[in-house]
Amino acid sequence: MNAPSGRLTGGPPLRRIVGFSLPLTVANLCQQGYLLVDGIVVGRFLGVDALAGVGAAGPLYYLLSATFIGASTAFTIRLAQLLGAGRSDRTRAVAVALLLFTLSWSLACAGLMAAGGGPVLAAMGLTGAVAAAGRTFLLVLAAGLPSIFGLAGLTAYLRGQGDPRTPMYLLIGSSALNAGLSWLFVGPLRLGVAGAAAATGTAATLALLAGLARIAGPGRIGRPGRGAPGSTRAAVPEELRGAARLGLPLATQHIVLALGIHPSCIGVYGCGG
């Protein structure tokens, strides 16, 4: 069932804005919290070199992730526009376009991290144990990117449907699972840096499956409207082009912010290991 078009346009504007933005803020805070827990676990169980390697690998992952978030916001905006105009039949084309974009981006980034992670770390001046930890982290994390970006794409879609709470619950659950699995994999199971990366992918996979089940289950929160199959196929390329035009400026902003992290990481970790 699609969200009513008046969900965000009816009632006092300030209350609607706060009601929509507060869940986003809570979800972002929880994600930052699990990063803190992740760092504590790696540093406590694996030592300084492992912590430095994971920290140095972080900017590359953040760059790719932030770019995707910026680009996927275009689909969120497009969905909101369609629902506001009463064009729920067109949302299926947007959903398919977002799915294709997410799959393509995931596979491209997985290949980039697996093949280019080592050279990027070398460009930072990392050597020895620190570089080895960073390479391992990126290689294992690459396997989980389809789920990580899939979850991000799903939350972008649901927000475009006017539903900020389901993404908040999914991201809170993912963050809590990530923190717990990180402790389990790195601590008792002794999987090392690979365990920290595997925890992120596993938590995202479970949260993504929960979100998809929520859409497909009773109530069908945010399920896309149904249009004619032929019209949907014809509209997908148009929606992809529109998302590219709208998403490029948004993604560029995130890229600039992400690139600002790299010089500080080079300064902190550039001494090598």
Stretch among 8-17, 135-144, 202-211, 239-248 having the lowest mean pLDDT: 8-17
Q: Does residue 17 lie within any of the structural domains?
A: no
> What pLDDT digit, counting tens, does each position of 118-140 carry?
898 888 888 899 999 999 999 99
Q: Does residue 183 lie within any of the structural domains?
A: yes
Q: Does residue 19 lie within any of the structural domains?
A: no
The pLDDT of residue 262 is above 60: no
The more confident residue out of 50 and 37 is 50
Residue 25 to residues 42, 82, 193, 250, Cα–Cα distance (Å): 26, 25, 29, 19
Residue 31: domain span: 24-269
The predicted pLDDT at position 268 comes to 43
Percentage above 90 pLDDT, the chain: 45
Residue (of 138, 174, 181) closest to 155 by Cα position: 174
The pLDDT of residue 142 is above 50: yes
The predicted pLDDT at position 144 comes to 94
What is the tally of structural domains in the chain?
1
User: What is the per-residue DSSP string for 123-160?
Assistant: HTT--HHHHHHHHHHHHHHHHTHHHHHHHHHHHHHHHH
The predicted pLDDT at position 269 comes to 41
What the block records as the tokens of 268 is: 């902190």
**pLDDT-based confidence at 273, cuts 50/70/90?**
very low
Q: Does residue 224 lie within any of the structural domains?
A: yes
* Span 175-199, average pLDDT: 94
Q: Does residue 32 lie within any of the structural domains?
A: yes
**pLDDT-based confidence at 76, cuts 50/70/90?**
very high
The predicted pLDDT at position 125 comes to 84
The predicted pLDDT at position 34 comes to 66
**pLDDT-based confidence at 261, cuts 50/70/90?**
low
| Residue 268, H or E segment | helix 261-269
Highest mean pLDDT among 176-190, 214-228, 236-250: 176-190
Yes or no: say if 249 and 74 are a contact pair by the CB < 8 Å rule. Answer: no
Q: Does residue 2 lie within any of the structural domains?
A: no
The predicted pLDDT at position 83 comes to 85
Q: Does residue 110 lie within any of the structural domains?
A: yes
**pLDDT-based confidence at 2, cuts 50/70/90?**
very low
Yes or no: say if 100 and 240 are a contact pair by the CB < 8 Å rule. Answer: yes
Residue 38 to residues 151, 181, 236, 264, Cα–Cα distance (Å): 19, 10, 39, 20
The more confident residue out of 253 and 95 is 95
**Is the entire prediction scored with pTM above 0.75?**
yes
Q: Does residue 108 lie within any of the structural domains?
A: yes
